[in-house]
Structure 1
């Protein structure tokens, strides 16, 4: 994926959006659960301080809190399982998340456990201390004291009312109101009512005076007053939960009025006095009674109360611990996430992946660090893209240069300062005819046949570098004559023109061209000019010389003594023979100089060789000729007449060399071999003639194709020159080598390689 491709950035943004949505959902859910837990915990705590609220709502509050705790526990278990899976899969950052979660969890759990242990002990001991025997006794005594005090006040009111009722003994019903007013002032009562025997009010004072039907005592009260002459009761303390109980608490005394008269017709009357109780006394009495009631109730439910407080405390601990651990995981994840993003990005960058990295959009320093890292990665990706473009351009230029070097006809070798081959092109291998690629990293002098050439090149480089500051040239140039050997053959000489220059890092550039063809062509042209002039200048006088000698012999025959006649005849014969020899030489020079251009036609080389071999049968040839013709050879383009001359010249030279070696060794001459072969890889047809003669001396091998270079005592040296000229006309490559076996020359071999007709047409 390219650095500038928008797809990774879009994928990263979508992944970031999904991750942000998941984090928001998880955070919102966690916050909501924690808020619900806190509210429920508050309500649960409130219920423990309000008995009615406790009895009504404690069960469902406790259940909902347990449900919230279970949900938080499930979330924790789910997070722990995910973390374990990540850890087992070897996901990067799992250990860091585990460490952060553990640290935050310990920070929340350990203080919570410590507080729980202390609170547990405190609650347990506090509840037990509430139900002490002394507390119970004190509450019982307080209740008894309040009851006795109230009874004493009521009894005292009853006694005073009985004593005061004597004032009504002689007072008729109509005048009883004034007496009741005096009695009310004496007793400090709020209400006095005089009742007859039928339970009807006779007179009243105080609040009852304004009532049509004052509150009538019960029949039982009237009966008890008639029997005991006095009765009393405390009212308003029945409902201690009523906040107005202290204000409505009063003592009512019902007293039988004494009647001094004796008679069956006298009806009894009753006086009812109502006196309010002191509010402080009533409030204290109610408080003591309520405390005693609650104490007794809680004493009966001591175990349940203890379990309630311990359960509330334990549930509070669970909620706090679960919330703390969950918050620790969330905070640890939030803290570790930027670090994991950075670490993951660093690992990808180290692996060479410079695609756009995720960046957090938070406003803290870690988010800024991820954004800076993403920006740096993008800059690195852009820089690498630029570098890759430059490298691609450089590779393209290098490829172009290498293509140029590979297709150069010139040889190029890069050497170091010690003459070690660093690189070479195929042209160098082709020109030097040596596998230079196999010798890279080794000295040029180790290449077979190139030791002298390497030494000469090294000397020229040393001289050039030493005198460069004086002559101011940037290269040197020199011609070389090479005579390489290897692979069991000794090849013909090669003429080179070499140029050397200095490269950076002490490297040296050697460029050379094979000028053998140029030199040979120049020499052939020079010899052709010489032959033309010789043929012109020498041929003309030869005929008069021959005719003059023959005429002289005719004129003097029979006129001289026998001795002089013999000298004359011998001399004339010598002159005529030498003139004939000179004519033949001049004719050969003329033919070489006037060799016509080849007329190329489709030609079967095997058929042409077979046709020529008819002239070299066993009955006519002193040295037998053996042929090995490849039937796969395709047709070539050639001049049949000139190629016949080539085959004749090569076979005659091979026979002469083989015959010479056989005469010197005194053995029958071995056969001369002529062969054709088709090379599919090189796409060339190769004609080869090999003999078993003495081979060519090195100095002759280097100039074998030059005119008048020969090893024959009577040879003109034009045979191979004509063969070379015809080969050039046919664009054929000619090679001349000595066959070497075990270091001994076993003959010579001449090869011509032709392109097939299809290749020539192209």
Structure 2
């Protein structure tokens, strides 16, 4: 390298600045000098092209070394020290090359080589332009790297990792304590009810199933000391899980009266068992069995606990190479700084060599073209980019003569194309505006560019306020998290498209949406953005669930109704025949038979509700006056609830239209019944209850609207989307069928029902019925 450096200093162009018209060197000598210069430039370019990938690879390699997982500190330290030595060698090489360029410029200026001043100016300019930001970047990066590495290895990070491990351990301990607690509760209940005695096997199984569901246990296991096997009651979601038998040591301790906890790993997760003894009701010290309450920890949680442990171990290993890594990063930054300075100086020299000669001729030609001489041409002297520039200059002068006509023709064609594009754009806007599916498009930066009317209605946003904004500013909370997850999914998909059904909260309502996403690319494969299509499946799924619940109600009513009457008659006959024959136990007999008769009656009412929901009669619409139906329904409630103020605001413009009188009356009665219950829940604390029923005519939509508003306890936001689902009720004694029947009747009339808050307190139900069905 030193020999090449010395040779380049001695073989500079020896020509002095002379009169431009005098050329002391023969053409052959100029050709030889030109050929030598070309070979030298090619050699320098080859060297730079070979070294540049090495430097880039080294920088990338070193920037990721801190993220590697190493098994022992010694190989990592050796690797870091080797890289530091390699960086130092590269630094020395780059420093030598920079000094070479500077010294060569100084020699050329002293010899007054043609173009030396321009070369110096370009080199100084490039170095100056690159040096200031490079130094600032170096200092800033040094500060950030130092502070970042200190932050990586601070006490808070290590403490957070340790606390994470403690949290995982506490979670398992809490599960074990809860299992022991619930096992004690179940064990005491079994002993008190004497369920281990003969003939109580069915009641014992029922109790274990009920307690498993009540305590939300994964499974409950009963082991008797003189029987092989055990009675295992597991949840439906754990049918595929293999429950291993308890170790004999644990069972022996339990049969000795001791409580034990055991954590067992199975293929799908961990089982946390709490094992307690079951004592005999006759002899509290005698153990008659053992009971295990089992919690199931899924594999996903087990994996996360393992990941936390591995992360803590990786952190401790990485902390051992903290100082070598910081030195490595600083050396890499300094290496990049010198690379930038070297490239700037070399590029200035290279650029000056190719510009000096042809630029003068281009200046002369430009002056002649300015004067109007379009026939002027510059002779081509080289085949590089400057030669291409000369050809382009000559071509430019030839094209200027015919450019006006071509520009006018191009302008006309462009105007025609713009008109066609504008027509297509308007047509697409009309289609997107009126289609029932929500359509959203985003550009390459994630900004909303298209949002049709259906998308506005589904998402509850105004297009005029969000178009042009990034989607990260429009969406918030769970919606933004869901959008990020869908974007990652469509990027990972093989065909760059994704279809997924999601649930999202919009203005207090839980919507079920079918989301279809696709990535947009042009003919060259460049990323243009995304298009999102939204289909609202909420009402469809509600209808499907309602139909399924009707079938369930029909079967339940059929199976339960038949044995109820014989049970009730048998209880009445027992009461009639034996009530006076029990003496002191007569009161107990009387209470038991009364309980049986009362509960059977309650079951009959429940079965009747099932039958009503399962066999809803078809609507029989006849011409009716809506206001009369509402008044008839309100009369009974006004008379029966004097403590509540009822108010009816009829709209007399509502015409006579087809309705099923009895079904609509049932709808109004059910809503009034719910309103009365909601008002009674808070009337004593909040003052007088008030229920308002209002009818309205909407001539624009050609429908009649009914609103039932109260100032009761209201409905929680998370319950609004479930109110009209079968068997969902906010009342402790409700069957959950009332509003489901209301929704079914309104749907049979081709109407729609929804629920809203009634500020400052209460609920407002809104029914919309079309005047023409």
Superposition TM-score tier, normalisation by shorter sequence: 0.3 to 0.5
Q: TM-score, normalised by structure 1?
A: 0.45
Q: Which has the larger radius of gyration?
A: 1
